[in-house]
Structure 1
C-alpha cells in the first residue's frame, strides 16, 4: 500500500498545529551540506498551505534556511507520522511582543506525506514537560503563540 501524499495539510493535521507541540525539523546544514535535525515546539499552521515556527535568532536553523530553503517537518498526529516538506523563509527577523529574540519562519508547504510504516498506528503521542519555571514557561509560550497568530 502506497503512503498517502497530499499537497496541503489535511484537517486533523491543521487542527493539531493550532497549539504548541513537539515536532522535529530537518534542514540542510549550511557548513557540511548534510542533514540537520532539530526539535522545536513553537509551531503553528497559519492555513492549510502555510506553517509558521519561531526559533532563537542565533539558531543554526536560520543559517541553514538562508543557504537552502528546503525543510521537512516531522509531525506525529492523527495516529500516524507525517513528513511535511516545504520551502522556508525568515518572515520576521524579530518576533514582536516577545521578550526573547526570536525569528519567525514561514514554510510554504509543497507536500504532506504519511510516512508511517505499513500495518501500524501511533497509539500515544509525544509529550514533554518544561523543566524551568512553569509559570514563566506558560507565559512565554502564550506570548510566542499569540505573536505568531498575529503575524
Structure 2
C-alpha cells in the first residue's frame, strides 16, 4: 500500500477525535534531543487543521514544545492507525472553569498519514478505565472539555 499524506483531518477523524481516546504524543526532549512519547486523552479536534489538548503545566511536554514546537500525535481508531504531524504552542493560563491548573496546547496540523502495517485493520480500539474517584473524574473531564471547546 502506498503511503498517502493528507494536509488536514478528514470529517471521520474530526468526529473520532472528540475526547476520551488514547492518544500518543511525540515530542523531542529539550535536554537530550531524543524522541519522547507521552500518552494523553484530553484532546479535541477543533477544525480539520487545529487540534487542542490539555496537559499538566509541570509536564516535560511543555518545555519540549517550547524548545521545538514540532510534534506528532498518533491514534488507533477508524479500523486503522494514524499519525498527525504539526506544530504546537501552549497557553500557560489556567483553563476557565477547571479547578486545577492545566495548560492548553494548540496544534496546527500540517500532515496526516495512515500508519497501519500492510494487509491489516484494527478490530478493537484501545480502552482505558479511570482509577480514581469516578464522580470527580467525570466532573473534571467535563470542565476540561468545556474549556478546550471554547474558541
TM range (shorter): over 0.9
Instruction: Specify every segment of 5 or more residues in structure 2 that has no aligned partner in the other structure, as ranges.
Output: none
What is aligned with 2:124?
124
What is aligned with 2:24?
24
Distance apart, 1:20 and its partner CA = 2.3
Residues of 2 paired with 1:58 and 1:37: CA distance? 16
Please list every run of at least 4 consecutive aligned residues from structure 1 whose deviation after the TM superposition is greater than 4 angstroms: none
What is aligned with 1:40?
40
Kindly report the root-mean-square deviation, in angstroms, between the aligned alpha carbons of the 2 structures: 0.9
TM-score after normalising by structure 1: 0.97
Distance apart, 1:91 and its partner CA = 3.4
Distance apart, 1:93 and its partner CA = 2.9
Q: Do the aligned residues in 2 keep the contact of 1:25 with 1:40 (CA within 8 Å)?
A: yes
TM-score after normalising by structure 2: 0.97
Q: Do the aligned residues in 2 keep the contact of 1:57 with 1:94 (CA within 8 Å)?
A: no
What is aligned with 1:150?
150
User: How do residues 68-79 of structure 1 correspond to structure 2 at under 5 angstroms?
Assistant: 68-79=68-79
Residues of 1 paired with 2:3 and 2:126: CA distance? 22
What is the total number of aligned residue pairs between the two structures?
Answer: 151
Distance apart, 1:92 and its partner CA = 4.6
Instruction: Specify every segment of 5 or more residues in structure 1 that has no aligned partner in the other structure, as ranges.
Output: none
What is aligned with 1:57?
57
